[in-house]
Amino acid sequence: MTSLELAKKTAAILDNKKADQINVIKIEDISSLADYFVIASGGSSTHVRSLADELEEKLKAEGVTPARIEGYRSNSWILLDYSSVVVHVFTQEARDFYDLDRLWADGEKISYES
């Protein structure tokens, strides 16, 4: 699976689980951190954990596992690092505070819907 396919699949899984404001941002030309960021919001800390759990479970079923997961105890921001794709799942308050969408505005927004 290519980085782009993984980013789109990730966004679709989050969308199916009712994540809000899903953005796929291509950053490979401006950063060595990853090829894509996927940023999404959940309605509560429980929803954020549920989104992260669903994503990890669905991708694991396809043989894709994260290199690491950070923030699971924070209740406001969970990061799943799939090397070429880094997924950020926030509560709305944390997303507004950290404002990664603005920080990575130089990246190219990619549509994940076919």
pLDDT in tens, 20-75: 999 999 999 999 999 999 999 999 999 999 999 999 999 999 999 999 999 988 88
Average pLDDT of the chain is: 95
Domains, in order of start, for the chain: 3-110 (3.30.460.10)
pTM comes to 0.94
Three-class SS of the chain: CCHHHHHHHHHHHHHHCCCEEEEEEECCCCCCCCCEEEEEEECCHHHHHHHHHHHHHHHHHCCCCCCEEECCCCCCEEEEECCCEEEEEEEHHHHHHHCHHHHCCCCEEECCCC
